[in-house]
Chain A
């Protein structure tokens, strides 16, 4: 790892979203679906008050209720 992360909404390296505005908009309607550490697709469960996401390699990235969604990379 060189410390670079990935966008949870398009899976590209930080700063390389094809259309950042689209990722920012999706952040309002979608939990992150790509692991911020490796960009693998995560298994995501949305619940009425939160969501949780798990990467096969990096484990859980999760928010049950009322925690902030991470920023778009």
Chain B
């Protein structure tokens, strides 16, 4: 490169983004900012192996080799009054999902299936705007039953019940809910194209209350909802600002009957680049592979993701969608020499 005088200006040459990430993220443990994340998300496929390798080293350095394994179940399915355009459980779209309630024995069976898979976390989810009295009663009874069962008593229980009032936050904390999931879903600038019945800011305020009550915050979103690369970088930065304990990354499953049913499935390399970029934004955060990974990656990609920044997974089925059998993921972790985070190592 030369300037107008023809003198060399090598000193002004921009340093490659992965070289910068090596120094800032790997060595110093500081997440990349939005601008650098855009560069990472624009790297060509030819640099993907290098990017994944760096993300993996960042994960090992700042999170360690352990993998947190979680099972989830839907306590109340379908009939939700909200209009999240990706969701087959909204009552506002002509999806084939019908409303269903899981009873307490069914919930304990689901918790047993989770415990049997070696998972330490069990997340109880309801398709609601926010919980009402009936739902909170069911959650309380469910937690008591899980705690009373010999097989499931040690599981860490997380909940995902939509937006909360301050009082409900306190109630859940008092029930012993260890972590609360509430996804921002996408970049703030893209949210109104995904949801119109509530705002990003309303979600943010629930998250702040959860944090203030001392529960662990689990907050992630879905990739592949028509957001731009810049908006993926924006979303990662917004999550970094929130600084949750865990970020679950989902890839859109274009569910029939939803407004997003014809959206294309995110392709493997793009998904992997996104996973790695989120790791570089959030070096110390638990980054979980969640829904849609089977469709986006197949079997091979799951392994690449585990070697590209991911350090937690949901095993087995999801809320309304099927995953691959838990055993296949556990075999994969064994082959990768990644220990499953044990129950007593959780605080």
Contacts and interface: CB of A to CB of B under 8 A. Distances in A.
Interface of A: 10-11, 25-26, 28-31, 33-34, 41-51, 65-66, 69
A30 B321 contact: yes
Interface residues of B, number: 33
Contacts of B229: none
B270 interface: no
Contacts of B301: none
Contacts of A28: 294-295, 322
B315 A46 contact: no
A44 B97 contact: yes
Contacts of B321: 29-30, 46
B242 interface: no
14 contacts: A11-B96, A28-B322, A30-B322, A31-B322, A42-B98, A43-B98, A43-B99, A44-B77, A44-B320, A45-B77, A46-B318, A48-B73, A48-B113, A48-B316
B250 interface: no
Interface of B: 71-74, 77, 96-100, 102, 106, 109-110, 113-114, 116-117, 253, 255-256, 294-295, 315-322, 325-326
Given A28-B322, A30-B321, A33-B97, A47 B109 contact: yes
A47 B319 CA distance: 7
Contact of B117 (A41, A44, A48): A48
Contacts of B106: 45, 47
Among B109, B114, B319, chain A packs the most CB atoms within 10 A around the CB of: B109
B289 to A, nearest CB: 15
Contacts of A10: 256
A17 B77 CA distance: 26
Contacts of A46: 73-74, 77, 317-322
Given A28-B294, A48-B317, A33 B322 contact: no
Contacts, number: 77
Contact of B326 (A25, A49, A51): A49
A49 B96 contact: no
B113 A65 contact: yes
A30 B113 CA distance: 19
Nearest to A49: B113
Given A11-B96, A48-B113, 20 more contacts: A28-B294, A28-B295, A29-B253, A29-B294, A30-B321, A30-B322, A33-B98, A41-B96, A41-B98, A42-B98, A44-B97, A44-B98, A45-B102, A45-B106, A46-B320, A48-B71, A48-B315, A48-B316, A48-B326, A49-B325
A49 B97 CA distance: 19
Contacts of A31: 322
B113 A47 contact: yes
B316 to A, nearest CB: 4
The 10 nearest A-B residue pairs measured at CB:
A48-B316, A33-B96, A49-B113, A48-B71, A48-B113, A47-B110, A43-B100, A46-B317, A29-B321, A43-B98
A48 B102 CA distance: 13
A29 B100 contact: no
A29 B322 contact: yes
A49 B316 contact: yes
